[in-house]
Each structure stands twice: as C-alpha cells, then as structure tokens.
Amino acid sequence: MMKINENFLNLKDSYLFSLVAKKVKEYKEQNPDKKVIRLGIGDVTLPLAPVVVEAMGRAVQEMGQRETFRGYGEEQGYAFLRQAVCRYYAGKGVELAESEVFISDGAKSDLGNILDLFSADNTVLIPDPVYPVYVDTNIMAGRKILYMNGNEENNFLPMPDQKVKADIIYLCSPNNPTGAVYSKEQLERWVDYALAQEAVILFDSAYEAFVQDPSLPTSIYHIAGARECAIEFCSLSKTAGFTGTRCGYTVVPQQLIRNQTSLNKLWLRRQTTKFNGVPYIVQRGAEAVFSSEGMRQTKANIAYYLQNAKLITDTLKELGIWFVGGENSPYIWLRCPDGMGSWEFFDYLLVKAGIVGTPGAGFGANGEGFFRLTAFGDRDEILEAMARLRKLYHA
Ligand code: PLP
C-alpha cells in the first residue's frame, strides 16, 4: 500500500486568516451600517507600474509572431533578467555573477524548494514570531526545529546563542510580521555564528525595497563572509506589486560549499530537473522593474505605502503604544494595550473602532500579546482608521 509522508500529519491547521475573516463577516452582519477598515492586508493594493505593463504587452505581441515566438526558456531565467538583477545588486555595492542568480516564480516556492538540497537530519533554527512558511516546510520534511525568541527586550531581532547548535538558520529582514530590520553589526554576528557552525543562512529579503535608512543592509551579501554561508531569497511581490504576476529571484553564491559540494551546482541541478522557468512575458515585466524608469515608478508605490506606515506609527507614538517596524517596512508590530491578548485586542478593535488587524499569536507563541498592522491599504481609509484609534484611546 502507498504510504503517505506522515510528517504532513504534524502540521498545525492555520486558522489565522480564516478566523479573522469569520469574525469580520459576523461583525458586518450584526452591524450592516458600520464601515470596516482593513489594516491586516498582507497583499499589495496598488497596480503594476506602467513600464511593467508596457513591457509585458510588447512580450505578448512577440509571443504572437512566428519570428519572435519563444518556447521553453532557460530554467534558471533568461540572461536579460539575471543580468538586470546583477546590475541591481551592483548598484547596492554587491557584485554577483549571472550564474549565481536564479529567477523564480516568487520567494515562497524557492523557500520551500531549497530544502531539497538539505538532508532531513539537519537541525533548523527559526525565529518566533515569523512568516509561517519556514516552519511548515521543515515540518513536512520531518526536520528538527529550534526556535529563537523575538521579544520586546531584543526588539524582535533575536541574536545567536553560542550554546545552540544549528545547521540551517532562517533570517527575515525586514521581518514579516514584525517589520524589524537587522543592523549591519547584528548580521555580522549571525554570519560569524553560521561560519563557525558551518551552517547555512536562508536570508529572506522579500521586503528589502522598503529599507530607507542607508545604514541598514538590504542584502546579506553586504556582510563579509556571507558568500560562504548564505542563500538569499527575494521577490518582486512587494517591491513591484508582483503578488499576482509572480516573479522573484534566489542568489546562491559560488563560494557556498558544504561536503565539498557546490550548493550553486546542486540548486541548478534541482531547478533544471523540477522547474521549467518563469513565463517569458513575466520576465520581460520583471526586467522593466529594474530599468531606471521602472525603479522610479515602483519606488513611488513603496513611498505611498511607507507614508501610510508613518501615519500609523505617528498615531501609535502619540498614544504611547509600544511598537517596532513601520519605518523601513510595511508592517507595524505593536504591543496590545492594557495587557490584552492578541485575539482579545482583535475583538476590541473590531467592535469599538471597526478596524481589522492581525493577531500576533498567529505568527508563533511569542506573538501572543502583540498585533500586526499593515500599510498596504488605501490612504483615506488609513487616515480614518487612525482618527478612530485616537478617539478610542483619548475617550
Ligand atoms: N517571504 C516573506 C517574509 C513574505 O512575507 C512573503 C509573502 O508574504 C514571501 C516571502 C512570499 O513572497 P512571494 O509572493 O514572492 O512568494
């Protein structure tokens, strides 16, 4: 008889967003005249930049002509896009070879797929709270998971503990859900720790485009030694509104060697075996993101979200509510006022102010008592939500 992968039975049901949706639906049914404002959205809301749409339109036309039609492309992405990514990194002071860049259909797939390269008996170190994909993909593979605590004392930026031994380390900066960003010195300590343990860091930089402070690293490769111990995952989802268009990239440096084996070669082998590439049309759209006009247009969208974030953080400061994030990130992570639990505050905010956020407890045990707000919404709605919040706390 066929046997299933029983590790799947160890996954916990994720009821976070379904329970949020259920509670909002019930509230709306009971209060049909009240307007609900959603500050829990984890998806972008602004459309693709015009240069991206034009580039994809041209690519569609090419696909419809015999002379310019394209079938299968290189699994790791067209050279034009890998070169564009290299130029983008060069602009940040990081030199990459084209062979180190792999184009993907988004960071989520590669974060899961990369685990094909690692044996099941590796120990994994994951921050708590965090983006749930890291935990679930390792549970599916039956790996031992250790957690590192994010909390108020470390501003939700856990640091290495020399007593803890780990082989695979996840770092996400700027972080989802907390919006916290590691400094250069903090990442240097992580790279030193990983090198000493011969571990591999899986660095998720999906929100790097939101970093405004020039002293903060936007790539793990800003840190000396990272090329010997880190793989970086990035995405155009939040950088350029590609959540529905799907394109990202993963960097596997040539210097990353374990068991005398190049991880770059293993990943190329894995991708050419199990993946047939991202659509040509999408890759042309992604290439346009990295053009100077594309950068200008996509940065304008990011500026809009960051201005939304500022409206939220200014209000929290005024009300004396503790928070992290929001300055170099679309996420704001706050401590629930008056010692409330995450879900208690969710209900309170919904009933008293018609505002929907995301309970921190849904992102790990350390998220209990905290709450995530996001800046991806509409400006006028955020202004109204902040006015409601002020009224609630000044009342
Ligand atoms: N990494 C983090 C931290 C995220 O928050 C997300 C999406 O929300 C992703 C990766 C996935 O991004 P993509 O749309 O590229 O799959």
Residue 42: its pLDDT value, please?
86
- Say if ligand 1 is within 6 A of residue 285 CB: no
pLDDT, tens digit (0-9, with 9 covering 90-100), for 231-256: 999 999 999 999 999 999 999 999 99
Give whole-number Cα distances, 206 to 173, 218, 236, 370, in Å.
8, 10, 8, 22
Dihedral, CA of residue 280, residue 286, residue 292 and residue 293, to nearest 10: 90
- Say if ligand 1 is within 6 A of residue 113 CB: no
CATH class, domain 52-291, is alpha beta
Ligand 1 pocket, mutate which of 14, 114, 176 (most atoms under 8 A from CB): 176
Residue 259: its pLDDT value, please?
95
pLDDT, tens digit (0-9, with 9 covering 90-100), for 84-109: 999 999 999 999 999 999 999 999 99
- Say if ligand 1 is within 6 A of residue 205 CB: no
Which residue spans of the chain are classified as CATH 3.40.640.10? 52-291
Residue 291: its pLDDT value, please?
98
- Say if ligand 1 is within 6 A of residue 179 CB: no
* 145 CA to centre of own chain: 20
Residue with tokens 């896009």: 81
- Helix ranges restricted to H, 180-231: 184-197
Ligand 1 pocket, mutate which of 102, 103, 238 (most atoms under 8 A from CB): 238
pLDDT, tens digit (0-9, with 9 covering 90-100), for 290-339: 999 999 999 999 999 999 999 999 999 999 999 999 999 999 999 999 99
Strand partners, 237: none
- Say if ligand 1 is within 6 A of residue 225 CB: no
- Say if ligand 1 is within 6 A of residue 104 CB: no
Judge whether 167 and 200 are in contact, CB under 8 Å.
Answer: yes
Q: Report CA torsion sign: 353, 356, 362, 366.
A: negative
Share of the chain above pLDDT 90, in %: 97
Across all residues in the chain, what is the average pLDDT? 97
Judge whether 243 and 105 are in contact, CB under 8 Å.
Answer: no
Ligand 1: centre distance to CA 207 (Å): 8
Phi, psi of 182 (to 5 degrees): -70, 140
For ligand 1, atom 5: residue with the closest CA: 176
Strand partners, 148: 127
Strand partners, 325: 332
Please report which confidence band the pLDDT of residue 127 belongs to, taking 50, 70 and 90 as the band edges: very high
- Fold classification of 7-48+294-394 is Aspartate Aminotransferase, domain 1 (3.90.1150)
Please report which confidence band the pLDDT of residue 395 belongs to, taking 50, 70 and 90 as the band edges: low
Shortest-distance atom of ligand 1 to CA 236 = 15
- Say if ligand 1 is within 6 A of residue 172 CB: yes
pLDDT, tens digit (0-9, with 9 covering 90-100), for 196-215: 999 999 999 999 999 999 99
- Say if ligand 1 is within 6 A of residue 112 CB: no
Whether pLDDT at 17 is above 90: no
Please report which confidence band the pLDDT of residue 13 belongs to, taking 50, 70 and 90 as the band edges: confident
- Say if ligand 1 is within 6 A of residue 247 CB: no
Give 120's contacts (C-beta < 8 A, 6+ positions apart): 141, 142, 143
Describe the strand order of the beta sheet including 358-359 as a list of residue ranges: 323-325, 331-335, 370-374, 358-359
Please report which confidence band the pLDDT of residue 36 belongs to, taking 50, 70 and 90 as the band edges: very high
- Helix ranges restricted to H, the chain: 16-30, 50-63, 79-91, 107-113, 133-140, 184-197, 237-240, 263-274, 280-289, 292-319, 342-353, 379-394
Please report which confidence band the pLDDT of residue 14 belongs to, taking 50, 70 and 90 as the band edges: confident
Shortest-distance atom of ligand 1 to CA 235 = 15
Give whole-number Cα distances, 195 to 189, 201, 257, 362, in Å.
10, 9, 11, 32
Judge whether 306 and 210 are in contact, CB under 8 Å.
Answer: yes
Shortest-distance atom of ligand 1 to CA 172 = 3
- Say if ligand 1 is within 6 A of residue 108 CB: yes
Which residue spans of the chain are classified as CATH 3.90.1150.10? 7-48+294-394
Residues in the chain: 395
- Say if ligand 1 is within 6 A of residue 243 CB: yes
- Say if ligand 1 is within 6 A of residue 42 CB: yes
Residue 99: its pLDDT value, please?
98
pLDDT, tens digit (0-9, with 9 covering 90-100), for 164-194: 999 999 999 999 999 999 999 999 999 999 9
Which pTM does this prediction carry? 0.97
